[in-house]
Amino acid sequence: MDKRAAFRSWWLPSLFALPQIILILLFFYWPAVAVLRWAFTLEPPFGGAAEFVGFTNFQEVFADPLYWNSVGISLAFALCGTLATIFIGLVLALAVDRQLPGSAPFRFLYILPYAIAGPAAGMAFRFILSPERGLMASANAAFPDFWNPAKYGSHALILVIIVFAWKWAGYTFIFLLAGLQSVPRSLIEAAAMDGCGPIRRAVDIQIPLLAPTLFFLLVIMMTEGFVGADTYGIVARTTDGGPNHGTDVMVYRIVEEAFRGLNYSGASAQSLVLIGLIMIFTFIQFRFIERQVHYK
């Protein structure tokens, strides 16, 4: 049945669509065009005459070793964060999917962290994993400097990845649980009859059948890790990009450069590079990984 409503005039449907069109133009295309323009001009911080400078902004960005540092940090953050969230979400989903007695409340509990804002979670973890008073304090007492995100960039990076994984595992959990529940129960039973325990069943039957969901989450979480609002929020509230640019992920660097350094042009150029990188990653994922995930 055709459910489309047919309009006789052109202006009435246009009027209905107008609010949405205005919103998209205002909050999506206008900034995007502005970024594109700023990336190729020298934009004075307090407005006024912008000067076209061609690719100079890009040359400056690429010449900066700190920029390449932040690309590396971002890659590490997105990759580790993605793998950690998917792995944790998968383990939790597999456990809940067994529907053992008493597992029902966990379905709800595991999703909860997703409802908490990233910066708030980051703040909490700053205290929970604080080297002086937090969970790791006793380890530090035994082995001084065993854990100190304020001092070591690698520790700080681990800290923000933990916060990211803690929050987003609930999100992957939802998708993976839904995916697992669409695996026919009789397949699990057949595997049980064939002699598999729960872990073997997960590895041989459930995970291969989850491949489409896993691929979807890989793309979504990589993108989230690279440009997600949470990535900025977590880094800003937990480590402030430090120590010594140790957690200076690309989104954090862009915001800092634009609004603290007032270098709109450089930040815009970096934004464009980031968008380009995301497109390349997504293309690679679709081109080479998606092929492997269809089992029919």
Partner 1 sequence: MADITIRAVRKSYGKNPTLHGIDLAFASGEFVVILGPSGCGKSTLLRMIAGLEEITSGEIAINGKVVNRLEPRERGCAMVFQNYALYPHMTVAGNIGYALKVAGVPKAERLRRIEETAKIVGLSDYLDRKPAALSGGQRQRVAMARAIIREPNVFLFDEPLSNLDAKLRVTMRAEIRKLHQRLSATSIFVTHDQVEAMTLADKLVVMNKGVVEQVGQPLDIYHRPASIFVASFIGSPAMNLFDAAVDVDNACLTFGGTKMPIDRGLATRLGARQITVGIRPEQCAVAPEGVSLKVDFIEELGSGRVIHSELNGYPFAASVDEHTRVRPGDRITLELPLAHLHLFDRETGRRIEIDLAPRAIRSSASQPTLQAV
Does 291 bind partner 1 (CB under 8 A)? Our answer is no
Does 289 bind partner 1 (CB under 8 A)? Our answer is no
Residue 286 in contact with residue 220, Cβ under 8 Å? no
Single out the segment in contact with partner 1 by CB under 8 A; choices: 3-11, 14-22, 203-211, 254-262.
203-211
For tokens 């709109």, the residue is 264
Q: Tell me how far apart the alpha carbons of residues 258 and 236 are, in angstroms, rounded to a whole number.
A: 14
Our CB check for partner 1 shows the closer of 145 and 204 to be 204
Residue selected from 52, 186, 288, 291 as contacting partner 1 according to rule CB under 8 A: 186
Binding mask 22-61 for partner 1 (x = CB under 8 A): ----------------------------------------
Cα angle vertex 127, ends 169, 142, to 5°?
A: 105
Our CB check for partner 1 shows the closer of 92 and 188 to be 188
Our CB check for partner 1 shows the closer of 101 and 144 to be 101
Does 214 bind partner 1 (CB under 8 A)? Our answer is no
Contacts with partner 1 in 101-140 (CB under 8 A)? none
Our CB check for partner 1 shows the closer of 201 and 237 to be 201
Sign of CA pseudo-dihedral 3, 9, 15, 21 = positive
At closest approach, how far in Å is the CB of 198 from partner 1?
10
Residue selected from 21, 187, 279, 284 as contacting partner 1 according to rule CB under 8 A: 187
At closest approach, how far in Å is the CB of 86 from partner 1?
19
Residues that contact partner 1, how many (by CB under 8 A): 19
Which residues lie near partner 1 (CB under 8 A)? Answer: 184, 186-187, 189-197, 200, 204-205, 208-209, 295-296
